[in-house]
Chain A
């Protein structure tokens, strides 16, 4: 069918900020979709609140709106732009929900906007549990016994009928937020209560637990002509019971016979046809491991995380084709972009094994509950490709960047047998490693199957790996064994450890003996047709398919899996770097392992190597490609961390030299550089013992900022106010010794300011300066940043610019650098310099119009910034105000303290832009998911040190008509200041206490500042968690509260009584 000509303009809804359950995969999908629609000649309008995305680049759509994804704002855009249609199926659950809201509010009808792809009715049939069950019954497709419940009583009634265990799935929530498996009454009460609260429609599905079944997913596509195909099927190694986003997943399925495969294929196609979806759809099924019995678990009538994975696993670009289907094209008339010769209407054949492993944030959230269940907890994922299952698995393991290069984890090694068993029975994020350890200790596959219910097939494969360890150990230096081990995916580091050699020894030996990997192409068709796709993976086979071209090439290292502290922003910069390399006339080669991203779309670079980012795997590519150099600046800490080892192996790093990188990263060298450049930093020293730390703190004065010397994202960083706190920190939070020094710095209370700059050794371009709302001490990634600065004096700005320029020149930066400053009065101190692309590069690039990653790349490749029309200094300030507001995923992570501090906790960010600060901030806050209520009650419970400051805020809240609620201590202070306040009982008092107030929705905002103690028992912790779990904004910094108040004040007409004397009597 030809594409539709009755529509011209299409609005595409993005997915907003990165949160757990909704990550970079939607930038990948949205970008593909927008480009596909443009390619077909449509005018594309895009709305997304996430500035750290490629899709919000102005080249991707005809018009880009970075506005909150709420009914209010998107309706405004629709009324203004009058698109003919909207495409909501590429923006995850957010996009889909928004489309439903727009339709229900009548906006779509009012403006004559058609929904493309999946009709509203189909969305509801797939998303609403009752309608979904009705449809499945109609189709004769089995679903587990279940009940829709709206209260705890109904939950009891259901359990009485079918017994435990049961699964709770709240309706209309992301990543299964608020759900879980209950095996007893206590869990039932807890999970059902949370689930009902989390669900916007106060509805949960309770169903018979089919835990232990095989979890199988089918990615299916259908066009308007009813052609329907399966792009990929996937098997979760972890059986049903663990969210698929948290499961280790392989593609294609490994343990299904053809009959089982076709049985589930038929069911999936029947469902997509019945829903009438025009585009992509994900069907999740549970298959009894001992019969042909199966159940349909869930259907996502849109592109999803799984479809991104399926696209990368097969090469088949689902989102791109889904977008074209949405405008009427059919599968049989579209060419498969991978082969360029065959048609899109076929089912990809894989000739390799793909493994995906999720990346969890538990390194940041040590107190979090690590047990996995139906609520997703992973922030990102890695994918690896191999020709054996073992190779694919081990490549994925070392892609994770969790400090392991093999199925070996210290905690597992030292665990007692009973702990090990527990870790395997109750799945946590490290189960795979405990299984490996159990096999080493002689536990049988049969026993492990009983403990974990993981299919024996996978356990046997892991056993193969463990057995190879023994073979290696017994045959040091044996080349045949070495070859076999490499075929099973063993890293050089793992082999080196077993052979008592160094990693480089093993590499050298292999190189000398020709035991090197070859690269195979991902071509969708198992080599049946010729393909030109430059998408490769390494494996130990005979024939290499990656042909090195004559053109000089540059290799860019990606940033690996998304984690807290290293998000999509780095992929954004990586993609721009790749594009700039192409523009500069080189062949751009990327190495990365994150299946969610734009950078791993094979059409982004000239060549894509889907590989782990380890020295070994990167060196293999370098040895083959012989690039002119490698760029490490854009891949976050992942790439930077490889710099030293690569250079030691003779690789040329492009841009800032290793020596200069080290001068910025190494504490002592950095201090020396600063003093040479005459740039002040807060007083501080390095301690290698507890005593020394105390001495330093006494010398420079409390409060002090303490942290381990080499840290990422502020991990284990704390502000301590006295000797007692310092001792507690030194004993509990870090292990201090000469190898692991602790840094003790003076903590300066002041404004934090962040700057990104581009330098080429001469010119230093500063696109903009961002002022943080929260005072220093809150991690920059968790602060609200404002451009242009709102309160900095010209003198301070000049100082900042001057320091930035001096630092860039002094550190011989070629490329990007990011600096954090703290401003106290007119004094400016440097806190930190990152000689690389930063989190703020996409935000700043978009709002200032300076293509930072592009310029930096060209500078790295030798073009002078001056030649490109830039000069040293701060770029002229753009009109408007722009704020970057962090977004957190606390609702999904139980037991995590939400209070802001030096450790980064946010998973994503949104932009708010408008003509005034208040309007911009309003948008930012709204976009971040905070409901701003013009009136209501604010609940204050602040630490003693903050009470004075809180008085001023309380008075202003009272002035705009907010009711004040406070706990005793805070209330006393307010009363003393003459502010009317209602006292609420403390946690341990009788009901109604503070928790009841929050639960019952009697407060619209909670302001709680940190009392000492991060342990979950503290009252403050419970208050904060209660607020999060009830979806009430909880502000833990008075600065954030003040900013929000400013917004509220700007929205409200204050009512002031007339002064008596003026009234005529």
Chain B
């Protein structure tokens, strides 16, 4: 069945529908990863967005039991050149189409995704709508332009209540702003005793769990839409070692006096080089962010830029000069993407151990 993608600038792409047939709107972004669509679909940071995959053949290895990054997908739509009808992989259980149907997410295939990507590159991310051919693009575009973006994505994707993921190692409180399971997986792998808290946990609540360290997760949207988290971070800073990823990184910067801004089209993919300014080494990282911490805003703060994006020089990592706290804009938990930055979790644990002079922590 033919459906279309209409963009706020009035342009439209007619393609073949797959997944759910409902009408959807969202911010149209592109991801350049050639593998990892299942993880991308379920990364809560894409809440409110329509994701275009630049690689043309998507769904080749199907959808499997294991590679979800959240219980359910949060993307608002999924656009590909070709959605594989007959996937092949030993773990594959469903086709992309079957999965998106089951989860009620509209997909569109058969469009010139490279043209769409170039459009986004030129004009920046655009608001868009996936709908039937009966919708008039001119009217729809006007509506899209007038539309206000929701500001509650974090609330929508965060856990509603606290829950544990027990371990015998360090107690880590993980604030879920839209956490990818990968973060939990990496902490579990290191035997951490994890308490996951909702995004609006207060500093008192966090500290009430007597954490050895606090981890700020990734999440969707504009960090300025989550002022309660900024407050919380201010309340715990210096009292416990802190590690933030993605939205967690941006919130940390805001809490410490820095500023963030929306990027033209962001960084989304599995091939982003990040330079560690202390060692001069480059890691290839997995990224998904549409906002960034601005360099200028950091002067006068006690934050030091530790990592930058090699290509556009944007801030990719921060460290607090006085307190045991560091954050990165990218995804050391990978899934999907390269695992080059994985040792950052070890660094976090080393920081915890260094800070926690009360004695050795016994592992399971």
Residues of A within 8 A of B (CB): 225-227, 229-230, 252-259, 261-262, 265-266, 289-291, 331-332, 341-343, 345-353, 387-389, 455-457, 460, 520, 525-530, 541-543, 545
Contact = CB atoms under 8 A, between A and B. Distances in A.
Contacts of B67: 257-259
Nearest to B34: A252
8 contacts: A261-B34, A261-B36, A345-B310, A347-B338, A349-B33, A349-B269, A526-B54, A526-B55
Contacts of A265: 338
Nearest to B119: A543
Interface stretch (B84-92, B128-136, B145-153): B84-92
Given A349-B33, A543-B112, A262 B64 contact: no
Contacts of B363: none
B311 A343 contact: yes
A227 B274 CA distance: 11
B294 interface: no
A528 B89 contact: no
Interface stretch (B222-230, B246-254, B278-286): B278-286
A345 B282 contact: yes
Contact of B269 (A388, A528, A543): A528
B25 interface: no
Interface stretch (B166-174, B190-198, B296-304, B329-337): B329-337
B60 interface: yes
B115 interface: yes
Contact of B57 (A257, A343, A353): A353
B22 to A, nearest CB: 26
Contact of A347 (B66, B111, B284): B284
B57 A226 contact: no
B273 A351 contact: no
A346 B88 CA distance: 29
Contacts of B82: 388
Nearest to B118: A527
B56 interface: yes
B114 interface: yes
Contacts of B269: 349, 526, 528
B289 interface: no
B35 interface: yes
Most chain A CB neighbours (cut-off 10 Å) among B30, B60, B84, B282: B282
A227 B57 CA distance: 30
Contacts of B66: 259
Contacts of A229: 273, 284
A257 B64 contact: yes
The secondary-structure label for the interface of chain B is loop
Contacts of A352: 56
Top-5 shortest CB links A-B: A258-B36, A543-B115, A457-B88, A526-B54, A258-B336
Given A255-B88, A256-B61, A262-B339, A351 B38 contact: no
Most chain A CB neighbours (cut-off 10 Å) among B275, B280, B335: B280
Contacts of A230: 284
A1057 B227 CA distance: 108
A349 B54 contact: yes
Nearest to A525: B32
Contacts of A291: 90
Contact of B271 (A225, A348, A541): A348
B121 interface: yes
Given A227-B282, A527-B54, A527-B121, A255 B89 contact: yes
The secondary-structure label for the interface of chain A is loop
A351 B56 contact: yes
B117 A527 contact: yes
Interface string B310-327: 110000000000000000
Nearest to B310: A343
Contact of A349 (B55, B111, B310, B311): B55
B154 to A, nearest CB: 25
B33 A530 contact: no
Contacts of A289: 90
Given A227-B281, A351-B113, A258 B335 contact: yes
B54 A351 contact: yes
Interface string B47-73: 000000011110011001011000000
B81 A387 contact: yes
What class of interface size applies to chain B in its complex with A?
35 or more
Interface string B1-37: 0000000000001000000000000000010111110
B218 interface: no
A257 B121 contact: no
A529 B273 CA distance: 14
Contact of A543 (B36, B90, B114): B114
A347 B113 contact: no
Most chain B CB neighbours (cut-off 10 Å) among A389, A457, A530, A542: A457
Contacts of A457: 60, 84, 86-88
A547 to B, nearest CB: 13
B216 to A, nearest CB: 24
Contacts of A543: 112, 114-115, 118
A266 B117 contact: no
Nearest to A543: B115
A342 B273 CA distance: 10
A512 B180 CA distance: 52
Most chain B CB neighbours (cut-off 10 Å) among A258, A341, A530: A258
Contacts of B113: 351
A347 B270 contact: yes
A456 B112 CA distance: 26
Contacts of A528: 30, 32, 54, 117, 121, 269
A388 to B, nearest CB: 6
A351 B39 CA distance: 19
B280 A262 contact: no
Given A258-B36, A345-B273, A457-B87, A389 B57 contact: yes
B272 interface: yes
Given A227-B282, A258-B36, A347-B270, A541 B88 contact: no
A542 B55 contact: no
Most chain A CB neighbours (cut-off 10 Å) among B56, B117, B338: B56
A460 B88 contact: yes
Contacts of A389: 57
Given A257-B89, A543-B114, 11 more contacts: A259-B67, A262-B339, A289-B90, A332-B275, A348-B271, A349-B269, A351-B56, A353-B57, A387-B114, A388-B81, A528-B121
Nearest to B113: A351
A261 B38 CA distance: 14
B181 to A, nearest CB: 13
A445 to B, nearest CB: 8
Contact of B86 (A256, A257, A353, A460): A460
B338 A262 contact: yes
A332 B35 CA distance: 24
A350 B34 contact: yes
Contacts of B114: 351, 387, 520, 526-527, 541, 543
Contacts of A290: 90
A616 B47 CA distance: 46
A526 B39 contact: no
Contacts of B273: 229, 332, 343, 345-346
A332 B284 CA distance: 11
Contacts of B55: 252, 349-351, 526
Contacts of A541: 112, 114-115
A257 B311 contact: no
A331 B56 contact: no
